[in-house]
Amino acid sequence: MKRFSARIAETLKLRKMKMTLTMLNTWLAMFQKKNKKKKKKSRTQSL
């Protein structure tokens, strides 16, 4: 039983890690897009 519970815990940890990784990736993509837009705006303002 202990081994089984440990396995479930491991799978849950892995799932959590995958979820956090996907969330971070999406957040980074959003942040990069925002940065690109901001950079373009700053360039137009300077001109």
Helical (H) or strand (E) element with 24: helix 2-46
Domain that holds residue 6: 1-47
Overall domain count for the chain? 1
Q: How far, in Å, CA of 37 to CA of 14, rounded? A: 35
Q: How far, in Å, CA of 26 to CA of 9, rounded? A: 26
| Res 14 pLDDT > 90 | yes
Average pLDDT in the chain: 86
| Res 45 pLDDT > 80 | no
pLDDT number for residue 41: 65
Handedness of CA 7, 13, 19, 25 (dihedral sign): negative
pLDDT number for residue 6: 93
| Res 47 pLDDT > 80 | no
Q: How far, in Å, CA of 14 to CA of 6, rounded? A: 12
